[in-house]
Structures are given as structure tokens and as C-alpha cells.
């Protein structure tokens, strides 16, 4: 029977940072703590153990706390190899019956001695990790990440990227995030204090002691670090990632056909654009901004003619830069004019690249003010110990409150100080024109001349015919509009707030539907950092906890030797407790 017809334990949809974070976390036996014990107990995990233990014990002993209660409740996990597993677990032995299209229960027989589960990654972009991510950075010629050093998908060490940089001697690939760290007061506040005014700490500054964390890596350094994670966990095996775009997900019992065994519980059936079907016990949806089902935002809906290669495109769909018609005019040394719409970092990067590629002038139009921020979320959420903000978020009574907190923390599109300086330098040399609080109220495309006639409010004086328009206006995620979730939305509906699903605390669709979401779709549980690299790691942490428990329930382990499970949770010395044979 084809391996594609096996029932896998986990299928991850998306091979970007979020998918990589989950795959790596599931293979890490001793993950670094993402939160303190108190944070885990108070704000997330304690909900699953209400009524099972006395909370006072959790503060004094891990053995008697939330985690220990889970691990000492008579549950066992087997750290056995593939051959032993086949002997001890009838469900995973598979079938030698007819070659029907009904999946077997062999879980692809890829289980190794290191892991006790089988996984598969499906991605519409390619069969390599981070392929869409790397292509986007390469196309826009982005040399530096916006995120600080401790935002990455490595589950093994929070400071792993910093350690990697020092180990390979690539400190020159670090860019200091200037003006972010330090306690010096602005001249205005110093003057205010001298005048007797009340002095407040500068809200945008981070403790000087954390300066080493507030460097951002170069794109090449981050890519190499991700490759080291992939190599460390052996995540690049042949067939581990398939170039398949998932178009539908259903969750139900499999029909019984002939003598082929079927699962006694519901499983996921994933249908791809090629018509192939894949089966799994759990699914992790880890698609990013450019993934399937994510709607791109436009100021107006371009027609088929307007969306051609010579008219306009969204920043997520750039195939070549500049566009062919603009490139031809540059080569003929003709005047070229390009409009970039948007107020985020991507828009500023496109403005800069257009100028560097030879465009005569770039008209930078943004709906709101020019917002200058180091990161796309406010600094109180970025500190190494951002406990207060997270505590307030997790303690909110409703998802509406959390939604408002996220809006305040993100505050719309913003540009880093570095790129703000670059764009203003282009404007000073008359290569760019910046227009905040401006919208396009009329547009007409002439296919014969391949130019646009635009009218703005307020009016931009002497706006010439425009050769091309780039919409760096972001994307909108709404689970109700994602075609691959149509069946689940009908059969297993969930509450939705402005397009975001109200997931369980374990980032699961519902308690009875083990579809997990990470990244921006999990924002109501992870917070405003969910779409960032931080969200990739934090989401993976929660999902790994729940997957371990979920798959444990689905397997028969009998009286096999107890271990700590494939997620690396619990206390590795717990087995020594009460063993008097080791005492002299």
C-alpha cells in the first residue's frame, strides 16, 4: 500500500517558521522553558487540572505540581524502537490486506528510536523548509530581519541564535537596534524634571542589561541558523516535506472497505490540489501571510486586466522586480514613475529597492501617518521578561478584550527608524515623495500606454502617469473564508472574532477536533506577537504539550517501561523517587 495512504500521527500544513517550530519542538527532548513555572500554572495549564490537585502544592514542588500530577498519574510512554513498537502496538502494525485506497494504520512506519510518532509536512510553495520565506526575502532584497535575537523557532534554547552566532564567529552579521536599549532620558524629560515636573521612565526603552539581545540578525545568518535547526533534528529526510497545496480538510470516521482495517476513531482527511489524499490523527495549520486561504488586502479590487504583469500587484505576489514594462523603460533611459501603497516596513523596502533599481521617482502613499517603530508590536511586549503584559492578556475575561489589547499593541503598519531614514534620504534627493494620510479616490488604467491615471485625497500636485503600482497593504485572515476549512466550519463550527477563531488554550480548533493552529490564526491565545517569529516558538510549545497528551490517549502502551514522552516534558529524575535500592 502506498505510504500516502497511511494514517500519520501529525500532518503539518506549512513549511515556514511556524511549521518548522512545531516540527523541531516535537523532536526536542529537553526544551528550554518558555515561561516560568508560575506562568504555566497560573495562566494556561492549570485550567486543564482544575479539581485534580491542590494549587498550593504547585508552588513548592514540581513533583506535586501540575506537570508532576500529569506524569505520575499512572500514564506511561514507551521509548522503544520500531521493531519493539510493532510487537507491542497492534494498532500501528498496519495491514497487508488489499491494495485499497483506504489508509492503513501503519502511520507510514517511519517511527524511529528517537521519536514515537510519524509526521508529514505539506506546503504549496515547495518541498524545502522556509522556501516561501526565503524567496520573499530574496525577491525584496531584504538584508536584515526586524526581530531581535531571541525571536526564532529553536525550541532548545531561547538564546540559541546568539550562541550560534558566537560559535560560528559571525558577529559582523548582527545589526544593533539603536535607540531601543538604554535608560537615558530625552532632553524634554530632563528639562521637565529640572523644572519640577514629574519624571516618567521612557516607555520605549528597554533595560540596558538586555542590550546583547537587541541586535537583529542578517537574513543570511537567520537562514543558516534555521538550517542548523533542521539538521540538528534531522528534519530534511527525503519525503518529509511534499509540495502539495491543501484544498480541503475533513474530520470523520473512515469508511470500511473490504478487509482493510479502519480507525476506531475519527481521523483527518486532507485533500490537495492534485487530488491526493493524506490521513492523520492530528493536523497543525501553520500557514503564514502568503499561505492558502489568506486574503490579500487591496484599496480596490483590481480587474483581470489591471492585475497583469504590466499594471499592479500585491507585495506578496512579486515575481520579478521591477515589472517588465518598467524595466524596459529604464533600459531605454525613459522617465519612470511607480506608486507604492502601504504604511508598513514592506512598503518602505519596496520604495528603497525601486529607487536602487533605477526608477526615476517613487510616490509613497499611506492611509495613516508615518509611524516609526523598532518592531511591529509595542516595546513592553518585546522585553525578555514581558510577564506583566502577558499576564494581563491571559487574565482578560473575554476574547473581545484580548482583541482590543492586540490592536493597541500592534497599532497598524509601521516602519523601522533605519528604513525611515533611508526613505527620507531618497525624498531629499527627489527620488521619492512621501504622502501620509492620503488615499486614492479614482483610478484608471490605460492598457495601450500601460500607465495609470490616479486622483488622490488630498490631491498630490503634478502627479504624473504611473507606470506600476505595488500594494504593500497586508493580508486578512478569516477562518470563515478559508476554503480548506469549509467542511470544518460546517460540521464543527467555532466562535470567531474578526476572522480569528476562538481556539482552546491548547490552540486546538475544539476539544473534540485536534486541528491545531499557530501563527496569526492563534493570536487570541498567544497575543499580539503571534504572527511574529516569537509566535512560532510559543505556539509550538503549547501544541507539543497537547499533542503529547492527545497521541498518548490514542495508543496502547501496556506495561512497557515508563518514560517522559516524546515531547520531553516532566522530570527526568522522577523515576528515582522512592527507589530505596540506590541508598546505601
Rounded to 5 degrees, what are φ and ψ at 329?
-70, -35
Closest CA to 516 of 130, 526, 363: 526
255's grid cell: 469508511
- Asked if the structure places residue 200 within a domain, the reply is no
Cα gap 525→406, rounded to integer Å: 11
Shared domain for 435 and 578, answered yes or no, is: no
Residue at 402 is within a domain:
no
Residues 219 and 267 in one domain: yes
CATH of the domain at 348: 3.50.50.60
Report the percentage of the chain scoring pLDDT > 90. 49
Domain-terminating residue out of 444, 474, 504: 474
Over residues 157-172, the pLDDT tens digits come to 888 999 999 999 999 9
Residue 192 placed within a domain = no
pLDDT at 427 over 90: yes
Residue 259 has pLDDT above 50, yes or no: no
- Percent of the chain with pLDDT strictly greater than 70: 70
Count of C-beta atoms within a 10 Å radius of residue 577: 10
d(CA 238, CA 219): 26
CA–CA separation, 147 vs 308, rounded Å? 34
Instruction: Judge if 223 and 318 occupy the same domain.
Output: no
What pLDDT does 21 receive?
Answer: 95
Quick check: is 395 in a domain?
A: no
Residues 290 and 300 in one domain: no
Top pLDDT among 431 and 30 is at 431
Which H or E run includes 337?
A: strand 337-341
CA dihedral 29, 215, 133, 517 (to 10 degrees): 50
pLDDT given for residue 476 in this prediction:
84
Is 239 found in the same domain as 303? Answer: no
**Do 341 and 290 belong together in one domain?**
no
Both 539 and 421 in one domain: the answer is: no
Residue 537 belongs to a domain: yes
Would you state the pLDDT for residue 514?
96
Count of Cβ atoms closer than 10 Å to residue 143 Cβ: 12
- Does the structure show a pLDDT above 80 at 190? no
Does residue 484 fall inside a structural domain? Answer: yes
pLDDT tens digits, 104-123: 333 333 333 344 679 999 99
Of the residues 428, 447, 474, the one at which a domain ends: 474
Residue 392 lies in a domain: no
What is the rounded CA–CA span in Å between residue 107 and residue 112?
12
CA–CA distance from 422 to each of 301, 429, 474, 549 (Å)? Answer: 31, 11, 21, 50
Q: Which of 454, 474, 494 is the last residue of a domain?
A: 474
Same domain (yes/no): 80, 149? yes
Q: Who's near 332: CB < 8 A, 6+ residues apart?
A: none
392 confidence band (pLDDT: 50, 70, 90): confident
Q: Domain tally for the chain?
A: 2
pLDDT class of 257 with cuts at 50, 70, 90: low
Q: What pLDDT does residue 445 have?
A: 93
Mean pLDDT of the chain: 77
Q: Is the pLDDT of residue 144 over 80?
A: yes
On the question of pLDDT at 381 being above 90, the answer is no
Same domain, 458 and 488: no
Kindly state the helix (H) or strand (E) to which residue 237 belongs, with its residue range.
none
- Domain range for 341 is 296-376+412-474
pLDDT given for residue 226 in this prediction? 96
pLDDT of residue 329: 95
Q: Are residues 575 and 432 in the same domain?
A: no
- Per mean pLDDT, which of 77-86, 109-118, 510-519, 555-564 is the most reliable? 510-519
Residues 286, 303, single domain; the answer is no
Q: Is the dihedral of CA 347, 350, 354, 356 positive or negative?
A: positive
Do 267 and 315 lie in one domain? The reply is no
Return the residue matching grid coordinates 499593541. Answer: 409
The pLDDT, as a whole number, for residue 463 is: 95
Residue 424 lies in a domain: yes
Bond preceding residue 437 cis, omega within 30 of 0: no
Q: Which pLDDT value is given to residue 378?
A: 77
13 φ/ψ angles, rounded to the nearest 5 degrees: -100, 110
Amino acid at each position: 500500500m502506498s505510504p500516502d495512504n497511511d494514517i500519520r500521527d501529525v500532518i503539518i500544513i506549512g513549511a515556514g517558521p511556524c511549521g518548522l517550530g512545531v516540527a523541531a519542538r516535537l523532536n526536542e527532548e529537553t526544551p528550554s522553558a518558555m515561561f516560568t513555572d508560575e506562568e504555566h500554572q497560573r495562566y494556561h495549564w492549570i485550567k486543564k487540572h482544575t479539581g485534580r490537585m491542590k494549587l498550593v502544592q504547585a508552588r513548592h514542588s514540581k513533583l506535586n505540581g501540575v506537570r508532576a500530577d500529569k506524569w505520575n498519574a499512572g500514564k506511561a510512554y514507551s521509548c522503544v524502537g520500531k521493531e519493539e513498537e510493532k510487537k507491542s502496538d497492534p494498532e500501528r502494525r498496519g495491514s497487508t490486506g488489499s491494495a485499497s485506497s483506504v489508509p492503513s494504520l501503519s502511520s507510514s512506519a517511519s517511527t524511529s528510536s528517537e521519536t514515537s510518532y510519524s509526521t508529514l509536512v505539506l506546503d504549496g510553495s515547495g518541498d524545502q523548509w522556509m522556501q516561501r520565506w526565503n524567496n520573499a526575502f530574496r525577491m525584496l532584497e531584504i538584508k536584515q530581519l526586524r526581530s531581535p535575537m531571541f525571536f526564532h523557532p529553536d525550541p532548545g534554547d531561547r538564546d540559541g541564535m546568539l550562541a550560534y552566532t558566537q560559535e560560528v564567529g559571525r558577529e559582523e552579521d548582527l545589526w544593533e537596534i539603536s535607540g531601543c536599549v538604554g535608560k537615558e532620558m530625552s532632553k524634554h524629560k530632563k528639562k521637565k524634571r529640572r523644572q519640577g515636573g514629574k519624571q516618567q521612565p521612557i516607555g520605549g526603552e528597554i533595560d540596558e542589561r538586555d542590550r546583547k539581545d537587541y541586535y537583529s540578525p542578517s537574513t543570511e545568518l537567520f537562514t543558516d541558523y534555521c538550517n542548523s535547526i533542521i539538521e540538528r533534528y534531522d528534519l530534511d529526510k527525503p519525503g518529509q516535506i511534499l509540495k502539495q497545496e491543501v484544498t480541503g480538510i475533513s474530520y470523520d470516521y473512515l469508511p470500511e472497505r473490504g478487509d482493510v482495517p479502519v480507525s476506531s476513531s475519527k481521523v483527518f482527511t486532507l485533500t490537495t490540489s492534485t487530488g491526493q489524499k493524506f490521513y492523520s490523527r492530528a493536523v497543525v495549520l501553520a500557514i503564514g501571510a502568503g499561505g492558502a486561504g489568506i486574503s490579500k488586502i487591496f484599496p480596490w479590487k483590481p480587474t483581470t486586466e489591471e492585475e497583469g504583469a504590466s499594471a499592479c500587484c500585491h507585495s506578496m505576489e512579486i515575481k520579478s522586480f521591477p515589472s517588465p514594462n518598467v524595466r524596459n523603460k529604464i533600459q531605454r533611459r525613459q522617465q519612470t514613475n511607480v506608486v507604492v501603497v502601504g504604511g508598513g516596513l514592506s512598503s518602505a523596502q519596496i520604495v528603497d529597492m525601486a529607487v536602487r533599481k533605477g526608477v526615476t521617482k517613487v510616490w509613497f502613499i499611506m492611509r495613516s501617518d508615518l509611524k516609526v517603530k523598532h518592531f511591529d508590536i509595542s516595546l513592553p511586549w518585546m522585553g525578555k521578561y514581558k510577564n506583566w503584559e502577558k499576564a494581563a492578556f491571559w487574565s482578560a475575561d473575554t476574547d473581545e478584550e484580548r482583541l482590543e489589547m492586540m490592536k493597541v499593541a500592534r497599532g497598524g503598519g509601521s516602519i523601522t527608524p533605519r528604513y525611515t531614514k533611508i526613505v527620507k534620504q531618497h525624498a531629499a534627493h527627489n527620488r521619492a515623495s512621501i504622502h501620509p494620510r492620503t488615499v486614492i479616490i479614482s483610478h484608471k488604467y490605460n492598457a495601450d500606454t500601460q500607465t495609470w491615471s490616479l486622483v488622490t485625497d488630498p490631491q498630490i500636485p503634478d502627479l504624473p502617469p504611473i507606470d506600476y503600482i505595488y500594494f504593500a497593504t497586508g493580508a486578512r485572515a478569516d477562518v470563515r473564508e478559508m476554503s480548506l476549512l469549509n467542511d470544518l466550519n460546517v460540521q464543527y463550527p467555532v466562535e470567531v472574532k474578526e476572522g480569528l477563531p476562538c481556539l482552546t488554550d491548547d490552540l486546538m480548533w475544539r476539544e473534540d477536533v485536534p486541528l491545531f493552529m499557530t501563527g496569526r490564526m492563534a493570536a487570541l491565545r498567544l497575543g499580539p506577537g503571534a504572527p511574529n517569529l516569537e509566535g512560532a516558538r510559543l505556539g509550538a510549545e503549547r501544541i507539543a504539550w497537547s499533542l503529547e497528551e492527545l497521541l498518548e490517549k490514542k495508543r496502547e502502551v501496556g506495561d512497557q517501561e515508563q518514560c517522559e514522552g516524546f515531547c520531553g516534558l516532566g522530570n527526568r529524575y522522577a523515576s528515582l523517587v522512592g527507589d530505596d535500592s540506590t541508598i546505601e
